[in-house]
């Protein structure tokens, strides 16, 4: 259940209730792909005030498999995380890996090969719902077709139609599972349509006719520029119901998040803050950023970020982090990632306070 607490001009502040507790919106979800962050423990995540994690259905299906996770007592028990979890549908991954020519899309779903060992696999709406229910996440996503935002109109049109047919099927299957298991995950629809306004509009409306617990905007942050991305968000957000959470998939830049919150988005996820951290781009709590691997930081013996939400960045110096990343020391990646995640989560807190 989603309760809107404040909504001034467009930015919103609300509370999303899940089976593992409530989450305050707007929020950012750290991505624990195969059930773990790179070099960050679950205790670290709690210290940085992470409210909810995203895990990838595709990766967990391949390894260790949803059967193992279910026997462990579900994903929360398996990974040792008591707060809410969202799983994606696997759609984005099986279509991305499709670029390597390994997939074959039918009306039932996608044939693909494991990136681990080349084994043949198949996921469609039925399989995705099954896997996500076995994993036991609090928020689950419909299986969608996700073409690049820059694809031709005809292929985007086909993708929207298939996404809508699959969304209907996912809704039906989810209803049946809910009745069968007594569990009550929130099911989110995904608005596709690339950069085509009318297709986005059609998709948003038909998804609402099916009815979901929340609505995501998919197919962005995959090649288009920032202006195009914001223009789609600006067009689609007002078409979505006010009383349901809105999730922009794959956007993790702090300033872009701010811009999208102002346009009415509630939920975000991205691996970007973590990836740029590993390569030496450090977000600071004063909204600037530095390239810590640059020569100027070799002798900068001041704290990485004295106001950081991460104790590591308050304790350690820029010269130490410079050294660790230059020397390929994993502790450097941990310090950098904790910093960028901490700053991203802190900025969400500021956005919530601003409402």
Residues that bind a second copy (CB under 8 A): 34-43, 59, 63-64, 68, 71-73, 77-80, 298-299, 301, 311-312, 315-317, 319-320, 322-324, 326-327, 329-334
Residue reference for tokens 């872009």: 256
Query: Would you say 132 or 174 has its CB closer to a second copy?
Result: 132
Query: Would you say 272 or 335 has its CB closer to a second copy?
Result: 335
Query: Would you say 64 or 148 has its CB closer to a second copy?
Result: 64
| Cβ-defined contacts of 287-293 (< 8 Å, 24+) | 287/254, 287/255, 287/347, 290/318, 292/318, 292/321, 292/322, 292/325, 292/336, 293/322, 293/325, 293/326
**Active-site residue, 269 included:** yes
The DSSP secondary structure of 302-317, one letter per residue, reads SBS-TT-SSHHHHHSB
Nearest distance, CB of residue 64 and a second copy, angstroms: 4
Q: Which of 44, 253, 269, 305 is catalytic?
A: 269
Cα–Cα dist 325/308, whole Å: 19
Neighbours of 88 (CB within 10 A): 30
Cα–Cα dist 294/280, whole Å: 9
Nearest distance, CB of residue 290 and a second copy, angstroms: 18
Neighbours of 183 (CB within 10 A): 13
Max alpha carbon distance in the chain (Å)?
62
Query: Would you say 209 or 327 has its CB closer to a second copy?
Result: 327
Look at residues 350, 351, 262 and name the one whose alpha carbon lies nearest to residue 8. 262
Query: Would you say 163 or 334 has its CB closer to a second copy?
Result: 334
Nearest distance, CB of residue 334 and a second copy, angstroms: 7
Q: Which of 44, 88, 144, 253 is catalytic?
A: 88
Nearest distance, CB of residue 317 and a second copy, angstroms: 7
Nearest distance, CB of residue 180 and a second copy, angstroms: 24
Query: Which residues are annotated as catalytic?
Result: 88, 269
């Amino acid at each position: 259940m989603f309760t809107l607490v404040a909504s001034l001009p467009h930015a919103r502040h609300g509370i999303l209730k899940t089976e593992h507790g409530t989450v305050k919106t707007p929020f950012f979800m750290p991505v624990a792909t195969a059930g773990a962050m790179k070099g960050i423990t679950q205790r670290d995540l709690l210290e940085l005030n992470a409210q909810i994690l995203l895990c990838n259905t595709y990766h967990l299906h391949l390894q260790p498999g949803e059967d193992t996770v279910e026997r462990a007592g579900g994903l929360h028990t398996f990974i040792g995380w008591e707060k809410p979890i969202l799983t994606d549908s696997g759609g984005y991954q099986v279509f991305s890996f499709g670029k390597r020519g390994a997939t074959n899309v039918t009306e039932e779903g996608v044939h693909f090969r494991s990136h681990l060992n080349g084994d043949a696999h198949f996921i469609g709406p039925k399989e995705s719902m099954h896997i996500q229910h076995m994993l036991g996440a609090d928020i689950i996503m419909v299986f969608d077709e996700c073409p690049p935002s820059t694809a031709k109109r005809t292929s985007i049109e086909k993708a929207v139609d298939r996404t809508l047919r699959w969304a209907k099927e996912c809704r039906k299957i989810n209803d049946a599972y809910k009745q069968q298991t007594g569990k009550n995950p929130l099911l989110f629809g995904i608005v596709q349509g690339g950069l085509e306004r009318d297709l986005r509009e059609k998709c948003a409306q038909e998804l609402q006719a099916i009815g979901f617990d929340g609505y995501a905007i998919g197919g962005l942050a995959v090649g288009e520029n920032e202006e195009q991305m914001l223009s789609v968000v600006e067009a689609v957000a007002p078409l979505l119901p006010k009383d349901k959470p809105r999730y922009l998939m794959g956007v993790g830049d702090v300033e872009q998040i701010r811009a999208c919150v102002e346009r009415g988005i509630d939920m975000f996820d991205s691996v970007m803050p973590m990836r740029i951290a590993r390569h030496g781009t450090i977000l600071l709590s004063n909204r600037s950023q530095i390239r810590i691997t640059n020569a100027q930081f070799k002798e900068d013996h001041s704290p990485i970020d004295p106001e950081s939400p991460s104790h590591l960045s308050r304790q350690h110096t820029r010269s130490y982090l410079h050294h660790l990343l230059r020397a390929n020391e994993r502790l450097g990646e941990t310090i950098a990632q904790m910093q960028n995640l901490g700053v991203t989560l802190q900025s969400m807190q500021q956005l919530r306070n601003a409402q």
